[in-house]
Structure 1
Amino acid sequence: MKPLGTGIGWRPEIADAVERMPGIDWVEAVAENLCPGHIPDSLQRLRERGVTVVPHGVSLGLGDAERPAETRLAALAERAQALGSPLVTEHIAFVRAGGPLTASQPLEAGHLLPVPRTRDALDVLCENVRIAQDALPVPLAVENIAALISWPGEEMTEGQFLYELVERTGVRLLIDVANLHTNHVNRGEDPAKALDELPVEAIAYVHVAGGFERDGVWHDSHAHPVPEPVLAILADLASRVTPPGVLLERDENFPAPQELEQELAAIRETVRAGAPVSGECATVTASVTPSAAPAVRPAPVPALASTPVPARQRLALAQAALLSALVAGTPAPEGFDRARLAVQSRALAGKRADVVAKVAPELPEILGTAYRARFLSYARARPMSGGYRRDALDFAERLLLAGQPEDAEARGQLTRWWLERSGPAPLDGRPVTRWLRAARLALRRS
């Protein structure tokens, strides 16, 4: 596999601009945003030009207490094969909690949350990674995430946690230097120390992104220019090892193409300037060059023993308690910073509102400026448990059952939108509100 080079996150909003950008060696596409059996025309044209496309998963939940769902793994494998990708990437994060292991309501975060750096969590993560590796047709690389909160009682640093993960599974790493900066601001973790402890020979590629600071908290927004501290961490990493690939992420507030090209140029220059002197760190550099890596799969790693059920249960209970506090308003688990949990809770709700607006753009069009306030009010009382599309339908149903919106024309538009996406039309003469209630009961019983 050849080195990836310099790339950018492919998003539909900037697809045309990405196709025209000079010097783009590869792109990364969010796997869940690609429809099964269909490659967007823009990505197809890029592939025909020899541009590598890597699917980047965001919902597998490798850090969940539960094992990865076979359906999600199959979908990720399908994207990799359809795109002819040399590898697949996901996150070291948990995204769901509750359910059978805790005999409680299943909950979804709607975003990436940090796993505790404990032995239980590491054992579960290692087994989940091995399950994913066995199900995927190409190598897997996993990404360190940004976090607003810290788990109490952690037993390892991030570098130690990642080192042992790689040692036990053979998985490769996607190192996000913007996330190292985020964790420096939010959790007081030294990026240089993390790089000291990382197995840099396992790096598959690097993410670079922007964010913003508010009230002493850094938000990894992917919607702002890359700041100097993030480039400084990239330079530090490049002085230790030549990264096989570096990619700019941008998900919101897309600037003019020229600004993105300037950021890419700054990234290239940072890597070039930070590169080790010839001969320095030569062994490490050679070992991470993709041409020296296996073409299809990582080297075999001794089979892991199945994670003891008590470890999964302990992790499940801890994650369910945290997620319930964040999305359902239950008391904060002991040892957590309550003020920081409140920040994380607001961030999750805001992210949820933003994604539902993208999944169902008709909702903010129908509700206008009232959309966000109405959705946040709904979200406080209704934790997400069935994905964003289900969330959009439940939100619309909740409004209609409450007789909202007050404007009759808007309420009619919302009713038609809901009915078109929820099933057959109501029986003649049957009040819509009664039908909605009956449909909701049917959905719950299904």
Structure 2
Amino acid sequence: MELGIGIGWRPEIADAVEALPGIDWVETVAENLCTDHLPDSLVRLRARGVTVVPHGVSLGLGGADRPDPGRLAGLAARASLLGTPLVTEHIAFVRAGGPRTASPGLEAGHLLPVPRTWDALDVLCENVRIAQDSLPVPLALENIAALFSWPGEELTEGQFLAELVARTGVRLLIDVANLHTNHVNRGEDPATALDELPVEAIAYVHVAGGIERDGVWHDTHAHPVTRSVLDVLAELRSRVAPPGVLLERDDDFPPVTELAGELTAIRTTLATAGRAGREARSEARAAGDDAAASATPVEPTGTATDAATGPGPGSTAEPAAEAARDRAAVAQTALLSALVAGTPAPEGFDHRRLAVQSRALAAKRADVVAKVAPELPGILGDGYRKAFLAYARAHPMSAGYRRDALDFAEQLLIAGRPADDDDRRRLTHWWQDRAAARPPRRTTRLVRAARAALVGR
């Protein structure tokens, strides 16, 4: 399946995407689409023959729980609506807590890495099989960027991905910007990862920009693509011709001319690296070096299981599988609680890196709430961000960004804020339009908190 050169479709740049020359396909965040109709821009693109691929961000296939049937059904409906050849998601967890740990549910609002261990791989593979059985088209999974590493990891990234493909047959979405991020933040060599993973399983490639601050690379998707990221793309292209390559941009959108320039840089990198790869393989063949010419990926060692097999209901492996999920639940809940609820960092993690991640999660949360509820920064003005970050420190997210916006407004109103009467009246009306007849009194809020604490014990 050849996709060609594409760009991430976002409502903010819909007109620019339609105007860009040479766009073969686009990718859109699946959760931002309705399940029964498409934005006019995507309808026009599809009418022109442009493929649209839905890119999921909320399944949490690396999480301890099995995938939510409702989320899978929603992704399947969007795939059918778009007539897409595949759907994509991430190798990550996005929520933790709940019944397995007898603790309140927590949401990260972001993609967090799973440990590269055999235990985590077992859980991930079963979740992937469940997703594959629920979707009408093939699934491809993306490697994510991370600011920190899990202690006690047993596999490299390339080995982990190779095992995942061997067990499930899933395709790969390789993000070269994420490989670069992990190089800066975790000291992992992108070339080694590319040598170890099965490049023949690549469905397509992501390219995106970021920025380095204080020795940490932030995969922002809001900055231009750097030369270092294009170098990783060249490394990949020297090994394989990817079926598709896509430019991602999620914020701080530049003029259409700059987007076109980045696409040109991607095309040039692919062409140059492709020629260099062909020349290298030709030289290798002339020298009789068959191994170098075929560029066979390194096969990782480990305890891989057959891709067509897996523990079924009632099998002797089922208790072991549930035990692995329970261990994952405890570990992921402890980590996410440290990141969003201020609990102590689990043993073995880099406390400084977790602090950086915690601040990044809070900042992203503030940014997204400002987007889904733009009236809030409109009412609060320059005080919005400070007020929201103070709220976030005491109130982890548990039910998505829209609920988060309502809860934030509710907390402000209970505290008698904003101080200005007109602003408080505007905020009250905004809250009432979306939540209930009136904000609950302080006593009601205290009773709710007490009940939640009892349930969480």
1:131 paired with 2:130, answer yes
The equivalent of 1:345 in structure 2 is 358
Q: How many aligned residue pairs are there? A: 425
Equivalent residues of 2:414, 2:442 under 8 A apart: no
Query: Which of 386, 393, 403 is 2:406 aligned to?
Result: 393
Equivalent residues of 2:247, 2:263 under 8 A apart: yes
User: Deviation string for 1:51-82 (max 9, x for gaps)?
Assistant: 00000001110000000000000010011110
The equivalent of 2:95 in structure 1 is 96
Correspondence list, 1:23-34, <5 A: 23-34=22-33
Distance 1:438 1:100, change over 3 A: closer
Correspondence list, 1:244-263, <5 A: 244-263=243-262
The equivalent of 1:297 in structure 2 is none
Instruction: Report sequence identity in percent.
Output: 73
What runs of 5+ residues in structure 1 fail to find an aligned partner?
A: 286-299, 427-431
Q: Distance in 1 between matches of 2:446 and 2:106?
A: 22
Q: Quote the RMSD (CA, aligned, Å).
A: 2.1
Correspondence list, 1:6-405, <5 A: 6-275=5-274, 276-277=277-278, 301-306=307-312, 308-405=321-418
User: Deviation string for 1:88-145 (max 9, x for gaps)?
Assistant: 0000000001111111111110000000001110000000000000000000000000
The equivalent of 2:315 in structure 1 is none
1:38 to partner: Cα distance: 1.7
Correspondence list, 1:390-429, <5 A: 390-423=403-436, 425-426=437-438
Distance 1:5 1:353, change over 3 A: same
Q: Distance in 2 between matches of 1:440 and 1:420?
A: 24
Q: Distance in 2 between matches of 1:303 and 1:371?
A: 52
What runs of 5+ residues in structure 2 fail to find an aligned partner?
A: 283-291, 297-305, 313-317
User: Deviation string for 1:214-240 (max 9, x for gaps)?
Assistant: 000000000000000100000010010
1:437 paired with 2:444, answer yes
Equivalent residues of 1:200, 1:284 under 8 A apart: no
Q: Distance in 2 between matches of 1:434 and 1:154?
A: 49
Q: Distance in 2 between matches of 1:13 and 1:95?
A: 25
Q: Distance in 1 between matches of 2:440 and 2:110?
A: 32
TM-score (norm 1): 0.92
SS class of match (1:151): coil
1:35 to partner: Cα distance: 1.8
Shift >4 Å, 4+ stretches? 278-285, 438-442
Distance 1:406 1:75, change over 3 A: same
Aligned residue identity for 1:217: V
User: Deviation string for 1:326-361 (max 9, x for gaps)?
Assistant: 000000100000011100000000011111111111
Q: Distance in 2 between matches of 1:436 and 1:57?
A: 40
Equivalent residues of 1:53, 1:85 under 8 A apart: yes
1:441 to partner: Cα distance: 4.3
Equivalent residues of 1:176, 1:207 under 8 A apart: yes
Equivalent residues of 1:400, 1:433 under 8 A apart: no
SS class of match (1:101): helix
Aligned residue identity for 2:402: R
Distance 1:311 1:439, change over 3 A: same
Equivalent residues of 2:177, 2:208 under 8 A apart: yes
The equivalent of 1:295 in structure 2 is none
Equivalent residues of 1:209, 1:222 under 8 A apart: yes
SS class of match (1:277): helix
Aligned residue identity for 1:268: R
SS class of match (2:384): helix
Q: Distance in 2 between matches of 1:166 and 1:231?
A: 25
TM-score (norm 2): 0.90
Aligned residue identity for 1:437: T
Q: Distance in 2 between matches of 1:333 and 1:106?
A: 18
Equivalent residues of 2:211, 2:219 under 8 A apart: yes
Equivalent residues of 1:149, 1:187 under 8 A apart: yes
Aligned residue identity for 2:225: V
Q: Distance in 2 between matches of 1:60 and 1:440?
A: 33
Q: Distance in 2 between matches of 1:395 and 1:176?
A: 34
